[in-house]
Amino acid sequence: MAQLTATTGTPSRSPLEIAVDRIWRFFCSVRAAVAEIAFLALLVLIGTLRGSDVPQWMANAWPALQPLVDRWYDFDVFSSAIFAATLAVIAVAIAICTINRAPGIWQTISSPRIRTSPGYIRNAEVNAVYSTATTPGQLQENIEAVLRQKRYRFITEQVGDQIHFYADKNRWSKLGTYPFHLALILLLVGGIVSSMWGFRDVEFAVAEGETRQVGHGTDLSVELVRFTDTYMATGDASQYRSDVVIYDGGEQVKSGEITVNNPMSAGVATFYQASFGISADMVVTDANGVELYNQPLEMGFFNLRVNPDAPAGLIRLPALNKQIVVVGPDTNRSNQPELDTLGLENGQVWVQVTPIDGPMSEDAIDRAVIDQGSSTDIGGLNITFERESRFTVLQVAYNPGIPIFIIAAIMMVGGLAVTFYFPLRRIRGIIQESAEGGTLMMTPLAKRDWGGKREFFALVDNADKRLGTKGDVKRPDDEGNWHDTTDGESR
């Protein structure tokens, strides 16, 4: 005789379902969220301190940390893959948590629970009870009229001989959480876009009359039309200004002046005035007269060891395996004059031609001093120093995440405005027959919402007038104690 064996328990799930469930639970976990945010905060701290003297202070205090500090300064956290990945994980977590809340929010909007219990209402922090001579049906009509006058939705359900009701207004404001959370996701996406494709060039030099490409994969270029500087009696610069034209793909998109406190923005790029310097307009040709170089050379980005206080520039000619060092006059001869070994006068430059690769013997090095407007043959090249000019140094901040941040800001403010200015108000109540006629009891769902309680008290005042009787209301007195307004006894 065959025997039947009954088994109980949940049906077996596929490995894919189990994996998806575990991933979903991970992203919904509060502990995981705390760990993700803490790790992000640590990365932000590391990236922020990188731009300060704190790491070097640590290395000075504990010399063993110097190799780690050197790597710290070399590591750009905000452009790293680990920073972008952390932002992506948090964005996914916010998205999944928001989706996880959707069924409950939609149920509150479309199909709220109506049933309640007398005990729940009596034990609530705030409530109102009315005993009237009217029938339950008339009592329902009156309280419904009071609530609808204040734009409340009114829903009822018959439970035995009781009429349970649920009233709410601004129910659609619950959806305000979605633009807010979407804004958080967009902020993180904007951070990822900025870290991966944004950049900051802190030494973008452009000489007067020159147009220079910004680079970094952009089609932007900057033309310095004119540079103007003014000085105080002490010799310090009081103001310096760059008149520039910004091009994108060869088309002019912006023009104007940039000062220290007045940057210029063109799309997602912002240009800041950083400093300025002296440039030398140089022309270099080979022995056959073929032009190899003809543009301003920015001076001062490095200094020659033999004349450390003099600004220097470098022209590289890889096709000829040669480089030209150009040194200008000492900018501060009164400070350690013994360091001015070249002794150049204004309107002169010192040039040195050396191989880029290969032995640096004295026979392979050619040197000469060139006056402004003159040229000389040196190292198989003809070098002309046309004139001295100036260049500006700009900081270029390129942030392609700006449009995303703007959209996120609008959505965040909009979501918060909907939530705060149109708060969800909810009331539950029971109407039932009594010996005198009908009884009404109701309470707001506003446990930690004083605004909701205050609105409920205003509704109670309107109900008093409509019903022609004063309700028994549990509410606070001036000292914050809760009591019935009808008898004054504490509850």
Residue 491 pLDDT exceeds 50: no
- Taking the mean position of all CA atoms in its chain, how far away is CA 72? 23
Banded model confidence at residue 214, pLDDT cuts 50, 70, 90: very high
Query: What is the tens place of the pLDDT at every residue in 136-183?
Result: 999 999 999 999 999 999 999 999 999 999 999 999 998 888 999 899
Residue 477 pLDDT exceeds 60: no
Query: What is the tens place of the pLDDT at every residue in 286-338?
Result: 988 899 999 888 888 777 777 777 888 899 999 898 999 999 888 766 667 77
What span, in angstroms and rounded, lies between the C-alpha atoms of 430 and 116? 8
% of residues, the chain, pLDDT over 90: 42
* The predicted structure's pLDDT at residue 283: 94
Residue 433 near residue 140 (C-beta atoms within 8 A):
no
Banded model confidence at residue 488, pLDDT cuts 50, 70, 90: very low
What span, in angstroms and rounded, lies between the C-alpha atoms of 113 and 417? 27
Residue 384 pLDDT exceeds 60: yes
Q: Is the dihedral of CA 377, 378, 379, 385 positive or negative?
A: negative
Banded model confidence at residue 239, pLDDT cuts 50, 70, 90: confident
For residue 166, what are its two tokens?
């649920």
Residue 4 pLDDT exceeds 60: no
Domains of the chain by range and CATH? 17-106 (no CATH), 116-170+425-484 (3.30.160.110), 199-331+342-398 (no CATH)
Query: What is the tens place of the pLDDT at every residue in 83-117?
Result: 888 988 988 988 888 888 888 889 889 889 999 99
Q: Which of helix, strand or coil describes residue 114?
A: coil
* The predicted structure's pLDDT at residue 479: 45
What span, in angstroms and rounded, lies between the C-alpha atoms of 427 and 166? 6
Q: Which of 470, 466, 478 is nearest to 138 (CA)?
A: 466
Side-chain half-sphere of 179: how many Cα atoms within 13 Å? 18
What span, in angstroms and rounded, lies between the C-alpha atoms of 60 and 54? 10
Residue 361 pLDDT exceeds 60: no
Q: Where are the alpha helices (H) located in 29-127, listed in sequence order?
A: 30-49, 54-61, 66-74, 81-110, 118-122
* The predicted structure's pLDDT at residue 490: 36
Average pLDDT for the chain: 86
Banded model confidence at residue 202, pLDDT cuts 50, 70, 90: confident
Mean pLDDT, range 393-416, rounded to an integer: 93
* The predicted structure's pLDDT at residue 340: 77
Mean pLDDT, range 176-191, rounded to an integer: 90
CB atoms within 10 A of CB 183: 22
* The predicted structure's pLDDT at residue 440: 95
Query: What is the tens place of the pLDDT at every residue in 5-36?
Result: 545 555 677 888 888 888 888 888 888 889 99
Q: Is the dihedral of CA 265, 271, 273, 276 positive or negative?
A: negative
* The predicted structure's pLDDT at residue 9: 53
Residue 427 near residue 143 (C-beta atoms within 8 A):
no
Residue 215 near residue 231 (C-beta atoms within 8 A):
no
* The predicted structure's pLDDT at residue 443: 94
* N-term to C-term CA, the chain: 70
Mean pLDDT, range 257-266, rounded to an integer: 92
Pairing of strands 482-484, 291-298: unpaired
* The predicted structure's pLDDT at residue 474: 86
Banded model confidence at residue 1, pLDDT cuts 50, 70, 90: very low
Q: Which residues contact 238 (CB under 8 A, 6 or more apart)?
A: 230, 231, 232
* The predicted structure's pLDDT at residue 54: 85
CB-based burial label for 64 (10 Å; 0-12, 13-18, 19+): exposed
Banded model confidence at residue 346, pLDDT cuts 50, 70, 90: confident
* The predicted structure's pLDDT at residue 235: 63
Residue 452 near residue 427 (C-beta atoms within 8 A):
no
Residue 50 pLDDT exceeds 90: no
* The predicted structure's pLDDT at residue 156: 94
